[in-house]
Amino acid sequence: MTDVAPDPFRNEKALRRLKKRRAADARFRLYGLSAIAFALLALSVLVASIGFQAISAATYHKLRFDIVLDPAVIAPKGNDTPAEISRNVDGFYTLIRSNLEATFPEADEDRMASRQLGELVTRLAVLPTAKWVAENPTQIGQTATIKVPLNDDLDLYLKGAVSKEFRLRLGDISAVAETAPRQVLLTGAGAFKALESLIAVQRQEVGDAVDARSTLVSSGTAMGRVTSLSTDTLEMTLLTGSASDFRTGRPMARMIALPESQRNVSDLQIAWTLALKDMGRISRVPHTSLLTHTDSTYPELAGALAAIVGSLLTMMVTAFIAIPIGIFASVYLEEFAPRNRLTEIIEVNINNLAAVPSIVFGLLGAAVFLGFFGLPRSAPLVGGLVLALLTLPTIIIASRAALKSVPPSIRAAALGVGASKMQSVFHHVLPVAGPGIFTGAILGMARALGETAPLLLIGMVAFVADVPTGPTDESTALPVLVYSWSTNAERAWEPMTAAVIVILLLFLVTMNGIVVLLRRRFERRW
């Protein structure tokens, strides 16, 4: 019968307080989780958006020509040297041009159309063909099958990146009449009902803007642009092909959401491209020229080869300078340096240099290597020197950590059997620390490979049309190519830039993969 004293920790107030505190704890945990979620989300959006763009650049469209390599056009003098033939871009382009004109005779009618037909293939796209013929002169006069890249905007159109497009099949056509030259009237009971309702739905969504849109109707290789429409009749202007093409089968209608005035490809060019595709002359092939071509002002002809070679040359210079010097410097600081003021200054210096903005190293390169020593601009030699200075602190810090992790017993044992200090370090400590040092060196190289700003300041941003052959040739580098392509205005450069980024990231992933493997293989706990 004793009164239980009220538990001061279990009364209502305390329990409420405890609940609040637990809620606060859960909230705090949630903040942490959401911070991590945010970072991971940002990373995945970044990777996804670039990957998505890059995938669209992994393939591109090529146009096939079966043409006679007419000696009168490609070797007009009769005794042209291979060099002259390979430079005769005009001749080869004329062949392609006349082939297209024969396929689409309607382009002859006005100059505008003729110019647009010429835009299907960029003039310089015939350069590889010209080189091939120059190397194989027996081909002259023969029929050859050549494939050239399609214009970048039409390539984007075929990939569906130019505009949203609504497609539907029309009903059966009962009569086809040519009311005026190139004006065609299609009749069919209820054949155009679906198209009419599509336009009605679109009118509700975008209002009168729907009138500015092109509606194209195609059958086989023929295509026309709709001018007026009812449930049973459709009037159109023929873009390519002939009215008789519409007699058989059910035509296909496509409404292009972006009005013709707002895109780089005209209705006529779309009609030709689709006709060529229908003829089986356009094929989607892997974009290998991205790896085998050098830079160009035309996206469909551009490639990253010069930049890849430039980056490799730059990395070679950097590695030859930064890795040995970094290792020797760390050996000195870790094993030999006396504890004095000078050593302390060097150490503080290295730590500071590791945090100096990379662009400051670019200024150093511009002022000292270019201005004072007069080394050539835009050269991998200078780029490599600047990047070597930039990565040196990283390599030194990593190597010192690796040397530090070697147990003192190894040094003591070496010294105990009569080795000199130098011998103990170079014969025993350094080999043991090797994998760690190598890891740090690769990480430093990976950082150097991604650096852009210092290279801009020493002029490695130049347009480079030739693959550099040595460290003093004019050159550019992969990250700089990413920058310069991203500043180009045309839409087609976006996926190209993303593709170069993927190439760059593949190099970095490989380097980091080596690091992970090394760590797994050689990590040792003492």
> Out of 67, 453, 467, 514, which residue is the one contacting another protein (CB under 8 A)?
453
Please report, for the chain, how many H helices and E strands are present, in that order.
Answer: 20, 10
Grouping H, G, I as helix, E, B as strand and the rest as coil, residue 227 is: strand
Grouping H, G, I as helix, E, B as strand and the rest as coil, residue 294 is: coil
> Out of 167, 421, 519, 524, which residue is the one contacting another protein (CB under 8 A)?
421
> Out of 190, 357, 407, 431, which residue is the one contacting another protein (CB under 8 A)?
357
| Token output for 33 | 């989780």
If the CB atoms of residues 91 and 393 are measured against another protein, the closer one turns out to be 393
Applying CB under 8 A, the site for another protein has a residue count of 92
Q: How far is the CB of 158 from another protein (least distance, A)?
A: 22
If the CB atoms of residues 34 and 292 are measured against another protein, the closer one turns out to be 34
Residues 464/481, Cβ–Cβ less than 8 Å: no
Q: How far is the CB of 342 from another protein (least distance, A)?
A: 9
**Is residue 523 a contact point for another protein (CB under 8 A)?**
no
**Is residue 333 a contact point for another protein (CB under 8 A)?**
yes
> Out of 257, 368, 401, 467, which residue is the one contacting another protein (CB under 8 A)?
368
Footprint of another protein on 216-235 (CB under 8 A): none
**Is residue 510 a contact point for another protein (CB under 8 A)?**
no
Footprint of another protein on 47-76 (CB under 8 A): 49-50, 53
Give the contacts of 156 (CB within 8 A, at least 6 positions apart). 162, 491, 492
Residues 295 and 417: their CA atoms lie apart, in Å, by: 61
> Out of 446, 464, 496, 499, which residue is the one contacting another protein (CB under 8 A)?
446
Q: How far is the CB of 263 from another protein (least distance, A)?
A: 18
**Is residue 194 a contact point for another protein (CB under 8 A)?**
no
**Is residue 384 a contact point for another protein (CB under 8 A)?**
no
> Out of 14, 15, 35, 506, which residue is the one contacting another protein (CB under 8 A)?
35
Q: How far is the CB of 251 from another protein (least distance, A)?
A: 37
If the CB atoms of residues 247 and 377 are measured against another protein, the closer one turns out to be 377
If the CB atoms of residues 222 and 455 are measured against another protein, the closer one turns out to be 455
The residue type at 331:
V
* Exposed/middle/buried for residue 287 (C-beta within 10 Å: 0-12, 13-18, 19+): buried
**Is residue 31 a contact point for another protein (CB under 8 A)?**
yes
> Out of 184, 392, 395, 406, which residue is the one contacting another protein (CB under 8 A)?
392
Contact window for another protein (CB under 8 A) among 64-72, 145-153, 286-294, 505-513? 505-513
**Is residue 445 a contact point for another protein (CB under 8 A)?**
no
**Is residue 84 a contact point for another protein (CB under 8 A)?**
no
If the CB atoms of residues 78 and 207 are measured against another protein, the closer one turns out to be 207
> Out of 14, 15, 42, 412, which residue is the one contacting another protein (CB under 8 A)?
42
Question: Which DSSP helix (H) or strand (E) runs through 45?
Answer: helix 12-56
**Is residue 344 a contact point for another protein (CB under 8 A)?**
no
Strand blocks (E) in 3-152: 59-68, 143-149
Contact window for another protein (CB under 8 A) among 59-67, 129-137, 185-193, 392-400? 392-400
Tally of residues, the chain: 526
Give the contacts of 321 (CB within 8 A, at least 6 positions apart). 384, 385, 388
Contact window for another protein (CB under 8 A) among 163-171, 199-207, 221-229, 457-465? 457-465
**Is residue 494 a contact point for another protein (CB under 8 A)?**
yes
Residues 207 and 222: their CA atoms lie apart, in Å, by: 30
Question: Which DSSP helix (H) or strand (E) runs through 297?
Answer: none
Long-range contacts of residues 219-226, Cβ cutoff 8 Å, at least 24 apart:
219/245, 219/246, 219/248, 219/249, 219/251, 219/252, 220/245, 220/249, 220/278, 221/245, 221/275, 221/278, 221/279, 222/246, 222/275, 223/270, 223/271, 223/274, 223/275, 224/184, 225/267, 226/253
Question: Which DSSP helix (H) or strand (E) runs through 360?
Answer: helix 358-364
Q: For 327, what's the count of Cα atoms within 13 Å in the CB-facing half-sphere? A: 20
Contact window for another protein (CB under 8 A) among 73-81, 303-311, 312-320, 332-340? 332-340
| Token output for 277 | 């595709």
> Out of 320, 328, 463, 522, which residue is the one contacting another protein (CB under 8 A)?
328
Residues 482 and 495: their CA atoms lie apart, in Å, by: 11
> Out of 14, 16, 17, 40, which residue is the one contacting another protein (CB under 8 A)?
40
Q: How far is the CB of 365 from another protein (least distance, A)?
A: 9
**Is residue 210 a contact point for another protein (CB under 8 A)?**
no
- Given CA atoms 258, 260, 261, 263 in this order, what sign does their dihedral have? positive
**Is residue 420 a contact point for another protein (CB under 8 A)?**
yes
> Out of 142, 351, 409, 510, which residue is the one contacting another protein (CB under 8 A)?
351
Q: For 50, what's the count of Cα atoms within 13 Å in the CB-facing half-sphere? A: 16
Footprint of another protein on 288-327 (CB under 8 A): 324-326
Residues 481 and 503: their CA atoms lie apart, in Å, by: 11
Question: Which DSSP helix (H) or strand (E) runs through 354?
Answer: helix 341-355
> Out of 16, 19, 29, 247, which residue is the one contacting another protein (CB under 8 A)?
29
> Out of 359, 415, 432, 467, which residue is the one contacting another protein (CB under 8 A)?
359
> Out of 486, 488, 490, 491, which residue is the one contacting another protein (CB under 8 A)?
486
**Is residue 395 a contact point for another protein (CB under 8 A)?**
no
DSSP state of 459: T
**Is residue 526 a contact point for another protein (CB under 8 A)?**
no
